[in-house]
């Protein structure tokens, strides 16, 4: 029988629940480039940084609407007093906060849709990719970003009870300590089954 030797508050505040902080950034892989504005915000006020995914740019919309949307979303985040950090992979390097030129390049070139499983391949080959919800969550947690805003998340596909076609987004949502602000599950998916799947460690507000 498992016995807790600490009270719940002391356990939560102990090293059993470690969260990455700015001090850990020096230990990151040299393949991670953090935009100077994002870097400064993480050092002084990490709660002010909002992570944004990039598959909406690379795979979600046609050009130039994808680029216009990406720039508009970043501007909305700034208007609300926060710092946007669009996460993507450019030439085998993880970008936490992208420049306008990098966004324009991602919007017009062939890239790889990059989830957790694809990161090693894309980085190792020196390729470029748009990070999915799962991929973005992984990187956001790596650098200490605690809030992530996106449109629709992935989920259980229709017929998923037979095909087992379930988005990696759901797995990552349940194990990554990042708050996700989303419009909900994509309408083409099996929404009831997706919501049921999310009982695996994820509160829905």
Catalytic residue numbers? 53, 186
Name the residue among 150, 146, 145, 147 with its Cα closest to residue 169: 150
Which residue blocks in 47-97 are alpha helix, DSSP H? 55, 65-79
Determine if residue 20 is left, alpha or beta; phi over 0 gives left, psi from -120 to 50 gives alpha, anything else beta. beta
Distance CA 75, CA 54 (A): 15
Distance CA 35, CA 182 (A): 24
């Amino acid at each position: 029988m498992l016995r807790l030797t600490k009270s719940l508050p002391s356990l939560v505040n102990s090293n059993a629940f470690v969260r990455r902080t700015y001090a850990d950034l020096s230990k990151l892989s040299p393949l991670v480039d953090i935009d100077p504005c994002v870097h400064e915000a993480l050092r002084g006020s990490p709660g002010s940084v909002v992570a944004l995914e990039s598959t909406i740019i690379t795979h979600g919309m046609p050009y130039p609407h994808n680029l216009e949307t990406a720039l508009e979303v970043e501007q909305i985040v700034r208007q609300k007093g926060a710092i946007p950090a669009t996460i993507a992979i450019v030439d085998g390097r993880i970008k936490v906060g992208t420049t306008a030129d990098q966004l324009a390049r991602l919007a017009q070139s062939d890239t790889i849709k990059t989830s957790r499983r694809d990161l090693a391949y894309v980085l190792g080959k020196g390729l470029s990719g748009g990070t999915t919800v799962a991929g973005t969550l992984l990187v956001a947690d790596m650098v200490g970003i605690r809030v992530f805003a996106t449109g629709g998340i992935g989920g259980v596909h229709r017929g998923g009870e037979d095909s087992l076609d379930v988005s990696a987004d759901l797995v990552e949502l349940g194990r990554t300590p990042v708050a996700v602000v989303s419009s909900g599950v994509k309408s083409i998916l099996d929404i009831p089954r997706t919501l049921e799947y999310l009982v695996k460690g994820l509160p829905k507000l």
